[in-house]
Structure 1
Amino acid sequence: MPQTRDTPAATGWMREARFGLFVHFGVYSMAARHEWVRSYEEIDDAAYQRYVDHFDPDLFDAADIARAARAAGMRYAVLTTKHHDGFCLWDSAVTDYSSARVCGRDLVAEFVTAVRAEGLKVGFYHSLLDWHHPDYVIDGVHPLRNAPDVAALNSGRDMGRYRAYLHAQVKELLTSYGQIDLMFYDFTFPWDRGGMPGKGPEDWDSAELLATTRALQPGIVVNNRLGIPGDYVTPEQYQPDRPLVDDGVEIMWEACQTLNGSWGYHRDNLEFKDPGDLARMLVQSVSNNGNMILNVGPDGRGNIEPRARGVLNSLADWMRLHARAIHGAGPAPFTPPAHGVYTLRGDRLYLHLFSWPFRHVHLPGLAGRVEYAQLLGDGSEVGLDVLDSTPQPHAHLSPLPQPEGTLTLTLPVTRPDVLVPVVELFLTEA
């Protein structure tokens, strides 16, 4: 196995946690058509203002969200402090474009208090983009990219002034709420979009922003979307099927997944992922030495909609029984059977069965390495056998011979009624 890069993310709480909650919420939630609605529909400031004027998150209950995360087995939670539309969820001293000025609530403060009360790590998402700020230079994803006077609009804009604003807001966030455990910056795009230049690390002064982040919050975990190396990488809406490696060294990663393809509330998008698929994605992440963060997008009033809550409840039921195969677990140095994958935690090996075999499952290389086995969900014993490697009389009545060193498990015929059945194997000394 490649050496693991020694960073706070690789060695600290994040690998132990393995599972987190993303919360995308803002005035775009009222449009209910994706968090990029302003860009997709090229909505100018005046038209977008209707959402700001009517923003009233009366059902945003940070304590309820934090409890739901904790119950679902998540160990950290990340809130969008500001998304690309520029609207802030805290009482910023450098803008009136915030929840504190519009509806009198510092939603970041509420979130931090609630998440800490549940014993979870606190994370902030902060957009580097800002489609509201008058000095942010219009680019190929900006809502005004096709305005007839875009060149004239850009002529008076100054990214230097915008950088000062961006850095000032980051300093506010990292000095006003106590210890912050994770910073998820989003995002750098140095390539042309729509024939217009993108924005790279120099536009944000990423090196200085990262240095400031670390100076203000020693030990904080920072992602890679400043366009310079951070502590971990963030594959979005796809699921790695192997450990991620850079120059022969394993790097920490976090699969960023939505419930239905949208981060912000999208009322008419009904393509919700099956809870069993999400559980398998989480298991696959851990088996490949990664994390998974799963997003909820509260609706325009701040409520977690019933469909999203139902998915979280299903994951909570599974994690209540199977959390020890996830938290603090990682990849195993054994080849799993075709039916599933392994995770390993100390002297416990966990076989996550993605399909249910009839009666027997064969585990190469584990003969003599397992002293006891049980279904993790109910603690019921699973039989262990080492079959002879040579053909036997009446072989039609028993499992086929297996290669030397193979351990055979005898399973019940009926699949356990859980999202992903897990067999817990108690390992002996090597």
Structure 2
Amino acid sequence: MSYEVVRTTGDSEWFTNDRFGLFIHWGLYSLGARHEWLQSRERMSPEAYSKYFKRFEPDLYDPELWAKLASDAGMKYFVVTTKHHEGFCLWDSKLTDYKATNTPAGRDLLRPMVDAFRHRNMKVGFYHSLIDWHHPHYTVDPKHPLRFEPNFIAESAQRDFSLYREYLFGQTKELLTEFGKVDMMFYDFSFPAENDLPGKGKADWGSEELVRMIRGLQSHILLNDRLQIGGDITTPEQYIPSKWVQVGGKRVVWETCHTFSGSWGYHREEDTWKSVDVLVKMLIDVVSKGGNLLLNVGPTGRGEFDERAIDRLKGIGEWMKRHSRSIYGCTQAPESFECPPDCRLTYNEQTNRMYLHVYSWPFKNIHLRGFAGKVEYAQLLNDASEIRFKEGFVSSGIEEGAFREGRDDTTLTLSLPVKQPNVAVPVIELFLK
């Protein structure tokens, strides 16, 4: 009943078991509080942007609390922006002065975060931007804040990008030698030419050589696919694929990353926040297609999670407390089992249990085609209360013209309570024979 999935070079066993992680976008842009791309969107010069560097002082930063909120929400790993496109580093890099230790924060912010999440038995992932708008040898491209400045374009032609590439390699080496075991590296990102400006890709980053260095330092590590040479994890962003992601006609290990709202970094006035119910359904839908969900928080400039993010994390945690069995260790159901309308199936091959997630609570019955003769016991997962069922066609008592409602000998009919359980998404646990 298992599926063939493309093998990864890194260790993906923990990843496909854990299914749910926390993304953290935190940097100088949190002070601007209007999207992590504000420097590029507003075409800000390094001098104008330096006001945030001079005032970055997250005095309320509590990584232990961050880790607790994530763990309580049911998340099993985290990925943090060690450096975003702005070039600012959260750790005490020896290769730059543009780092947290030189701001009013006055300290390495990455190390205590790693320690706090590890203390909660969560896996460690580092996001690292391939882009760097601060480095003196990073050249102009369609994403650069000064892409429309003739003087900068002329000056950029004199830059030596190979020196930036050495810097990229050097910082990667720091991250993989100074923080113990790192479970995942999430690089971001390659892009094509645009508006007569060159793009950047694998040749610019030295992707093949970079990956060889990474594997030599930590062979188990999982790498995403944004270095343009494949990867262990395929990473669709801000959408949920319609089916299990395939590359070259074969299913792959995949993860989709999403925001609570429309911004990765802290955005004070963003108001398109997803509800707890929507976020829970996103998680279920992703796992039902064999994937992982990486859900993002953008902390404030003072180092706190937005109160809206805390509300969602706690709401997800309430659901996960009673329903995590339908997520951890689960994947897409075998094709021989047909999912009824407005539901999602997940399946745990190790325990041989199927999980029916009911998005819209029906009246009285759910009919499961292909399940007859295969289910030993059924219960609501939130309270372990029995759900009784019947198999095959059940007579309505009307001798002539009895309605079968689409049921046949393969159908198993669940008899549901009229009142929906008081949870975001009810789940019925099916113990298979």
Same fold (TM over 0.5): yes
- Residues 1:380 and 2:379 are matched in the alignment: no
Displacement of 1:148 in angstroms is 2.9
Q: What code does the residue aligned with 1:120 have?
A: M
> Do the aligned residues in 1 keep the contact of 2:277 with 2:425 (CA within 8 Å)?
yes
In the alignment, the residues of structure 2 paired with residue 271 and residue 247 of structure 1 have an alpha-carbon distance, to the nearest angstrom, of 36
Q: Which aligned pairs between 1:22-421 and structure 2 lie closer than 5 A?
A: 22-102=23-103, 103-189=105-191, 191-333=192-334, 334-345=337-348, 346-388=351-393, 392-393=397-398, 400=405, 402-421=407-426
In the alignment, the residues of structure 1 paired with residue 223 and residue 379 of structure 2 have an alpha-carbon distance, to the nearest angstrom, of 39
In the alignment, the residues of structure 2 paired with residue 269 and residue 241 of structure 1 have an alpha-carbon distance, to the nearest angstrom, of 27
Deviates more, 1:211-220 or 1:170-179: 211-220
Unaligned runs of 5+ in 2: none
Spell out, residue by residue over 1:122-177, the C-alpha distance to the aligned partner (whole angstroms, 9 max, x if none). Answer: 00000000000010001111011111313322122111000001110000000001
Spell out, residue by residue over 1:266-309, the C-alpha distance to the aligned partner (whole angstroms, 9 max, x if none). Answer: 10001101111111111111111100000000011110011110
> Do the aligned residues in 2 keep the contact of 1:391 with 1:400 (CA within 8 Å)?
no
Q: What code does the residue aligned with 2:338 have?
A: T
In the alignment, the residues of structure 2 paired with residue 151 and residue 339 of structure 1 have an alpha-carbon distance, to the nearest angstrom, of 53
> Do the aligned residues in 2 keep the contact of 1:389 with 1:404 (CA within 8 Å)?
no
In the alignment, the residues of structure 2 paired with residue 359 and residue 24 of structure 1 have an alpha-carbon distance, to the nearest angstrom, of 45
> Do the aligned residues in 2 keep the contact of 1:241 with 1:284 (CA within 8 Å)?
no
In the alignment, the residues of structure 2 paired with residue 394 and residue 263 of structure 1 have an alpha-carbon distance, to the nearest angstrom, of 61
Unaligned runs of 5+ in 1: none
> Do the aligned residues in 1 keep the contact of 2:393 with 2:411 (CA within 8 Å)?
no
Displacement of 1:392 in angstroms is 4.7
Spell out, residue by residue over 1:203-256, the C-alpha distance to the aligned partner (whole angstroms, 9 max, x if none). Answer: 110111111111111200010011111101110000112111122321011011
SS of the aligned residue for 1:256 comes to strand
In the alignment, the residues of structure 2 paired with residue 10 and residue 242 of structure 1 have an alpha-carbon distance, to the nearest angstrom, of 23
Percentage of pairs with the same residue: 47
Deviates more, 1:258-267 or 1:389-398: 389-398
In the alignment, the residues of structure 2 paired with residue 316 and residue 193 of structure 1 have an alpha-carbon distance, to the nearest angstrom, of 43
Q: What code does the residue aligned with 1:419 have?
A: A
TM norm structure 1: 0.96
> Do the aligned residues in 2 keep the contact of 1:185 with 1:226 (CA within 8 Å)?
yes
In the alignment, the residues of structure 2 paired with residue 67 and residue 177 of structure 1 have an alpha-carbon distance, to the nearest angstrom, of 20
Relative to structure 1, the CA distance from residue 395 to residue 143 in structure 2 (aligned partners, 3 Å threshold; closer, same or farther) is: farther
Spell out, residue by residue over 1:37-80, the C-alpha distance to the aligned partner (whole angstroms, 9 max, x if none). Answer: 00000000110000000000111211111111111111000110
Displacement of 1:388 in angstroms is 2.1
In the alignment, the residues of structure 2 paired with residue 170 and residue 10 of structure 1 have an alpha-carbon distance, to the nearest angstrom, of 19
SS of the aligned residue for 2:52 comes to helix
Q: What code does the residue aligned with 1:380 have?
A: S
Displacement of 1:194 in angstroms is 2.7
Q: What code does the residue aligned with 1:127 have?
A: S
SS of the aligned residue for 1:56 comes to coil
Q: What code does the residue aligned with 1:283 have?
A: I
In the alignment, the residues of structure 1 paired with residue 218 and residue 204 of structure 2 have an alpha-carbon distance, to the nearest angstrom, of 23
Displacement of 1:193 in angstroms is 2.3
> Do the aligned residues in 1 keep the contact of 2:265 with 2:299 (CA within 8 Å)?
yes
> Do the aligned residues in 2 keep the contact of 1:4 with 1:10 (CA within 8 Å)?
no
Displacement of 1:390 in angstroms is 7.0
> Do the aligned residues in 2 keep the contact of 1:10 with 1:251 (CA within 8 Å)?
no
SS of the aligned residue for 2:310 comes to helix
Root-mean-square deviation (Å): 1.7
Relative to structure 1, the CA distance from residue 244 to residue 401 in structure 2 (aligned partners, 3 Å threshold; closer, same or farther) is: closer
In the alignment, the residues of structure 2 paired with residue 365 and residue 162 of structure 1 have an alpha-carbon distance, to the nearest angstrom, of 58
Q: How many residue pairs were aligned?
A: 427
